[in-house]
Amino acid sequence: MRSAHLQVSIISFFIEIKLAHLICNIKSTFVILDGMPKVTRVINVGKIKMGGESPIVIQSMTNTPTKDIRATVAQIKALESVGCELVRVAVPCLDSAKAISEIKKQINIPIEADIHFDYKLAVESIRHGADKIRINPGTLGGLDKIKHVVDVAKEYKIPIRVGLNSGSVEKDILKKHGGVTAEGLTESTERSVKILEDLGFYDICISVKCSNVPMTIETNLLLAKKFDYPIHIGITESGTIRSGSIKSAVRLGTLLHHGIGDTIRVSLTGDPVEEIYYCKQILSALDLRKFGVEVISCPTCARTEVDLIPIANEVEKQCAGINKHIKVAVMGCAVNGPGEASQSDIGIACGRGQGVLFKNGKVLKTVSENKMVDELMKEINKMAGGR
């Protein structure tokens, strides 16, 4: 009887929610049209493409000494295993540049060498197999040195990321704009990019970072209007995993929503492997890329009549290794539950001690609380291809 009552509530809500979703979808289309999606030019970074219609590349950066080949390879392999697609390594010395060739033999994703000040390190990194380098042309010590780096990049056919930050804006630009401003950062970037363009080099990616959130966003909006080069988005000094992931989600999410960003990095003070999880969550939340199983669950409230929190956590845990994108909803009651559950690939809308299982928008059956995880996993595994 209780089960029949639950199913009647679910069906009436089902119709209302379908209508609500239709309206929501129309609204979100307007938001996208209102933004400024931009098609950038495509550059090749090793075996991956960045820019244009290519998927937004997920990247991270190692925090091992690059010259410690063993430790660096181990960290890159850990990053690869969770979905990192491009890894950056700092090159503070010649031994680090030389290590790139051996590191490359043992990894499967492209490697970007991060260079500051010393053009020789850029040249050696390229010669030892870097798939991309990150420099600030203005700090390499003069045009002849920049030209040398550009000539080698051309010879090895690798792109250059022009990476600037608020601390590297030229004095005359600071004076003109009265300090660090979005316009000044943009002008500084134009100056750096022009140096490469004047040397006939166009395999460029741009990144500009500062710790001020609105300024970072405004600068990237200006850059996207001025250039068609791919843009790397990330933030400096984002913080620990707890605070940094939220700051990154706000800044990166805002830019991505405006169609800006061809590659992203969530910088966190912690294990770089964690960064990949947050990159994926941001892209997934904006429907820009899909990864594995996405578990949607309600926060629970006084209407919840099952112990929902461990159920949602257990389902998410058991789905961790599934690569196919499946949307799973674990919902606490008949108020919001049926809508979400029926809009997902697989879902459960709970009542007192039991729940109604949905698959592809249709009710499958009623299951008791103690069988929910098993029944959900049975259907998820079937959909994933019988893992």
Q: Residue 291 Cβ, how far from ligand SF4 at the closest point, in Å? A: 25
| Cβ nearer to ligand SF4, comparing 64 with 300 | 300
Q: Does 296 bind ligand SF4 (CB under 6 A)?
A: no
Footprint of ligand SF4 on 18-57 (CB under 6 A): none
| Cβ nearer to ligand SF4, comparing 205 with 312 | 312
Q: Does 337 bind ligand SF4 (CB under 6 A)?
A: yes
Q: Residue 326 Cβ, how far from ligand SF4 at the closest point, in Å? A: 20
Q: Among 49, 98, 303, 327, which residue interacts with ligand SF4 (rule: CB under 6 A)?
A: 303
| Cβ nearer to ligand SF4, comparing 165 with 336 | 336
Q: Among 66, 72, 96, 304, which residue interacts with ligand SF4 (rule: CB under 6 A)?
A: 304
Structure tokens at 143: 């045009």
Q: Among 333, 372, 383, 384, which residue interacts with ligand SF4 (rule: CB under 6 A)?
A: 333
Q: Does 311 bind ligand SF4 (CB under 6 A)?
A: no
Residue nearest to ligand SF4 (CB): 332
| Cβ nearer to ligand SF4, comparing 174 with 335 | 335
Q: Does 222 bind ligand SF4 (CB under 6 A)?
A: no
Q: Among 284, 336, 366, 381, which residue interacts with ligand SF4 (rule: CB under 6 A)?
A: 336
| Cβ nearer to ligand SF4, comparing 210 with 330 | 330
The span from the CA of 149 to the CA of 156, in Å, is: 11
Site string for ligand SF4, 312-331 (x = CB under 6 A): -------------------x
Q: Residue 298 Cβ, how far from ligand SF4 at the closest point, in Å? A: 3
β-partners of residue 356 are 349, 366
Q: Does 356 bind ligand SF4 (CB under 6 A)?
A: no
Q: Does 339 bind ligand SF4 (CB under 6 A)?
A: no
| Cβ nearer to ligand SF4, comparing 195 with 335 | 335
Q: Residue 358 Cβ, how far from ligand SF4 at the closest point, in Å? A: 14
β-partners of residue 359 are 346, 362
Q: Does 71 bind ligand SF4 (CB under 6 A)?
A: no
Q: Does 10 bind ligand SF4 (CB under 6 A)?
A: no
Q: Among 284, 300, 313, 366, which residue interacts with ligand SF4 (rule: CB under 6 A)?
A: 300
Give the residue from 102, 162, 151 showing the smallest Cα distance to 129. Answer: 102
Give all strands of the β-sheet with 346-350 in edge-to-edge order.
Answer: 293-297, 326-331, 346-350, 354-359, 362-368
Q: Which residues bind ligand SF4 (CB under 6 A)?
A: 298-301, 303-304, 331-333, 335-337
